[in-house]
Structure 1
Amino acid sequence: MTTKAQPEPSISRKRRERERQEMRASLLEAARGIAAEEGWNAVTIRRIAGRLEYSAPILYQHFAGKEQLLIELMAVGFAELADRLSEAAKASPEDRLTAIAGTYWAFAFASPELYQAMNGLDGVPFGTAETPAEAKTAFRTFRVALQSIAEARGAELADPAGATDTLWAFLHGCVSLAMASRIAGGTDRARTLMLNALEPLFAAQLRRSA
């Protein structure tokens, strides 16, 4: 018994889907623009609608509210971060740890408003079953890179999950404090301090391979 081939989507259906994706991208970009100028508290569906010169009901067809929009932004951000970390992990084993940390730092400061949305503003779920797959991918990419550095040194991570959480928390903490101007000397000094402390912190996660 032969199975009938499914018909290809019509041209009009493809066009509608493309237009829907383009509209969602425009909404996310507008939200980031408002956040960069005035902070996330200023971001509302109505403000986004006004910026794009659409009526709010049209936008609600794409996002039920601000929280859903932030969740989408978080997914976009982590997908981009995962790609960048993957590229950084191609550095030589000697330079890989610094490359990963530098990439994380550069990503955060290139789009501070996106970084903030990725890290729990306004009740966006994180570290739960609702955490976007993109965030899990970024963490996995980070963990694999750390393991590869350990292996290149003839060692292994004593606790891979714990090491990943520890190093990620360290980078996030340095970035967050620098963004809040809590480190004397500004972002340049903060970045230097981060990189200087990175190697001892990583070494503390290792044990010699059997």
Structure 2
Amino acid sequence: MGHGGNVIDELMTDHREVEELFGKIEALPAGHKDRKVYADQVTMELIRHSVAEEAYLYPAVREHVPNGDSMADRELEDHATAEQIMKDLESCEPAHAEFDRLIGRLMTEIRQHVADEEENLFPSLRAACPPEKLDELGDKVRQAKKTAPTRPHPSAPDKPPANKLLAPGTGLVDRIRDALSGRGKHH
């Protein structure tokens, strides 16, 4: 993912891509092996997206948006919940009933999070932040997604500067593991 445009356009395009993957999961019957492939792809996209938001979007919200601290804190709580669900999902097989329960919870969580960002946070940021700052944040978010981890690390720090220090190394290890295992790819 890396689309161009300001930070809001970039992140909204990510949201559409994740929703498209959710649709593919929902279109398959329970227990179908490809549900796991798509769930892995969703996890990889969501982790990269979350890392970029935590590194750049939320600090900008804290700095520019009135009441930004409480907005950012709420979004971080959403991320922590989703990341724990993704961690639980990682070890779950698609034929297991727990897989369906977890993927259902993840889709509900993410859809609520997306709606909150798009209806509240993004309009507030657009109103409070100069367009050139939004463009600059878009570039930073695209860069962050290139080095971000692709697997959930629920115990990793989610606030700057610690999250920026950890992400590149963790991301590299995750991408090597993904390449070796073929994770997120159809075989």
TM-score (norm 1): 0.28
- Could you say which structure has the greater relative contact order, defined with CA pairs below 8 angstroms and 6 or more residues apart? 2
Please state which structure has a larger fraction of its residues in helix: 2
